[in-house]
Homo-oligomer: A and B are copies of this chain.
């Protein structure tokens, strides 16, 4: 784990602590474990996977607590929720990362991230044309990745 990664996790910790304090909520040992696992994970993960990882550190952590903490991590901007259409939500680290969209391989499930400013500009122009104010968007390209074509 490199320096940047360490720094980001540190940021995540204080962001979450501040978020909880501001809302009069408590930083429990379970929340600490779940935060650590969520921000330490690479790529996209499900609630079920997060539960599994968290249980390795504290076997008493429950599914309910994972879901409740996931909601807080989303609300605080530390995680972002993604729906790739496979019936369950996936999560990824959001804080300190730029917005990006996804290419999803329908065969192997691989997810590739990309940023494309020209597309975003055109999206905004399109929205403006309809008198629409965009808050967030979701662009997913489904198909075959290099290895699955």
Contact B133 A142 (CB under 8 A): no
Q: Is A56 at the interface (CB under 8 A from chain B)?
A: no
Number of residues in A with C-beta < 8 Å to the partner?
33
Q: Is A24 at the interface (CB under 8 A from chain B)?
A: no
Q: Is A98 at the interface (CB under 8 A from chain B)?
A: no
**Which of A4-12, A38-46, A115-123 faces chain B?**
A115-123
A83-B85, A106-B135 known; A130-B142 Cβ under 8 A: no
Would you list which residues of chain A between 84 and 132 have a CB under 8 Å from chain B? 85, 103, 105-106, 112, 114, 116, 118-119, 122-123, 126-127, 129-132
Contact A141 B122 (CB under 8 A): no
Q: Is A26 at the interface (CB under 8 A from chain B)?
A: no
Q: Is A137 at the interface (CB under 8 A from chain B)?
A: yes
Query: Which residues does chain B contribute within 8 Å of A129, judged by CB atoms?
Result: 114
Contact A145 B132 (CB under 8 A): yes
Which A residues lie at the B interface, using CB under 8 A? 83, 85, 103, 105-106, 112, 114, 116, 118-119, 122-123, 126-127, 129-146, 149
